Amino acid sequence: MRFRTLLISCLMAFGAFAQEKNAPTIELGAGLTSGTYTPFWLRANQYGAVPTKESYGTAAVAWSDFVQMNKRMSWGYGVRALVNLTETKADVLLQEAYLKGKFGIFELQAGRKKQIQGLVDSTLSSGSYIWSGNALPMPMINLVVQDYWAPKFVNGIVGFKGNFAHGWFEDQRSDVANFYLHQKSFYGRLGKPNWPVKFYGGFNHQVQWGGTLKYADPTNSSAHNGKIAAGLKEYLYVITGQSMNTVGADTAKYGVNDGWNRLGNHLGSVDIGMEIDWKKAKLFFYRQSIYEDGSLYYGNNITDGLHGISLTRKADQGLLKVVVEYFNAASQGGSGSSNNIGALRGQDNYQNNSVYREGWTYMGHGIGTPLMTLDSETDLSPGDGVNFDNSRVETFYVSAMGKWGENEVAMRASLSNAFGYYGSEFSSAMKQFSIGLQWQRPVQIMGYDAQMKAAVGADRGLWKPDVIGGNVSLVLPLN
């Protein structure tokens, strides 16, 4: 009798789990371009899924599951794999493959999982400065507080969220092998969730560190004998961002660059925001300030950053959201030099690095905002490398989305000016206009609930030959 009671209790508890299981799907599609390059707003911020060049065919399989065990515990997983076929190659990508488990306010994630870092409109932004969803997700272990947590003793007036992660960069790079990502963020909210006005602020900190050089370094400027130290002590230096010069770093162990500076390539953004919540709409203002080489501390790159306004209607039909942004990375601390310790910073050369020479990239794509383009993404310079040859740029951007019946439509448009880089400035700004239109709606295919998607885009300007293109895909359930 006791055994039966125990068994029934266990079954009842199991049956009480809230399970949100998404059926596996397959997506089949193709993209066409009139020139060498894919239109900008058809490939940017797609987590590395859309080729930068050439027309292509694509097939993807996705599957995810989520189980709510009780009020405090849940777990889930997700997988998305795809293959892109062009005239010259076939790329097989594991875009997502993760496990996650949550207990209380903390969620532990392991694997490749899509993420965005920074205060920004997460659906229509041109891209968060430091981590936009432009590159393939990086494998990492990530401890995260997803939602703002408000301790009871502050009565919900102040909330906090953030993350702490360790990741692995790819070994296929031409610059450094076997190196790591350190990532952390901390953001606060002032105001209860139901207050009409709330304020936000915080920062994120990203570091490329460790590894073995793939290029010759006879002067040991980048690493000592080709090896970048990556022990526990070095990890603590990375986490704290402590200057190695202040701790008397041993130049017999560290490269000159690290020994007189910080260990690794440190970069990120300091963000502020304000939200006004009305009965029928919500307005969100945000600003991301760039830090990388001390210029923000001295205030001489204060004009650089991402400035945005997002207006969201609380409705089911019609125009639902409009986002306007201005991105500026033209100052970079000015044309001054930071060769002397203590001098005002300048010529920051955002997201490039003298040690990790492919810069702030993963699998050939910029991790941060797509508005700062790589040598391989434009014809602004004669090369075809993985480095940011167009980081001094400013962009005016607008986007909108809406729903009419079952048709969902989104538009993105940008006007950008490229200025070259310090020491090789263009005589006048090189302009580029890009636009993309996306549409999707549910359809019935042989009795199955499917999703039809299509997009068109065009680029016109001086960054590359004018191009127009489009793509279409069909998402089908596999059950």
pLDDT-derived band at 268 (thresholds 50, 70, 90) equals very high
* Confidence (pLDDT) at 7: 37
Residue type, 400: A
Give residue-wise pLDDT tens across range 169-216: 999 999 999 999 999 999 999 999 999 999 999 999 999 999 999 999
CB 458 within 8 A of CB 6: no
Predicted confidence (pLDDT) at residue 13 exceeds the cutoff of 70: no
pLDDT, average across residues 96-124: 97
Distance between CA atoms of 57 and 150, rounded to whole angstroms?
47
How far apart (Å, rounded) are the C-alpha atoms in residues 18 and 69? Answer: 7
- Of 13-22, 183-192, 405-414, give the lowest mean pLDDT range: 13-22
Which uninterrupted H or E stretch holds 18?
strand 18-33
Q: Tens digit of pLDDT for each residue in 250-259?
A: 667 888 877 7
Give the confidence band of 1 by pLDDT, cuts at 50, 70, 90.
very low
Question: Mean pLDDT highest for which of 132-141, 239-248, 379-388?
Answer: 132-141
**How far lies 426's CA from each of 334, 352, 377, 419, 420, in Å?**
16, 19, 18, 6, 5
Per-residue burial over 207-229, b if 16 or more Cβ lie within 10 Å, else e, is bbbbbebeeebeebebbbebebb
Rounded distance, CA 368 to CA 152, Å? 36
406 against 71, higher pLDDT: 406
> Does pTM top 0.85 for this prediction?
yes
Average pLDDT over residues 425-441: 96
Q: Phi first, then psi: what are they for 86, rounded to 5°?
A: -120, 180
Tokens found for residue 432:
């580029």
pLDDT tens-digit map of 285-328: 999 999 998 788 888 889 999 999 999 999 999 999 999 999 99
- For residue 129, pLDDT beyond 80: yes
pLDDT of 4: 45
Return the CA Rg of the chain. 24
Sorted by where each starts, the structural domains of the chain and their CATH numbers stand as: 18-210+264-477 (2.40.160.130)
pLDDT over threshold 80, residue 77: yes
Reply yes or no on whether the pLDDT at 9 is more than 70.
no
In this predicted structure, what is the pLDDT of residue 347?
83
Alpha-carbon dihedral 366, 369, 370, 372, rounded to 10 degrees? -90
Question: Residue 17's pLDDT is what?
Answer: 52
In this prediction, residue 12 carries a pLDDT of: 38
Select, from the ranges 260-269, 414-423, 452-461, the one with the highest average predicted confidence (pLDDT). Answer: 452-461
Per DSSP, the three-state class of 296 is helix
Q: What percent of the chain has pLDDT over 70?
A: 92
Give the residues across from 281 on adjacent strands.
313
Is the pLDDT assigned to residue 5 strictly greater than 60? no
Half-sphere exposure of 41 (CA within 13 A, CB side): 28
What are φ and ψ of residue 12, in 5° steps?
-65, -40
Residue 328: per-residue pLDDT:
97
Rounded mean pLDDT of the chain? 91
pLDDT at 2 (0 to 100): 47
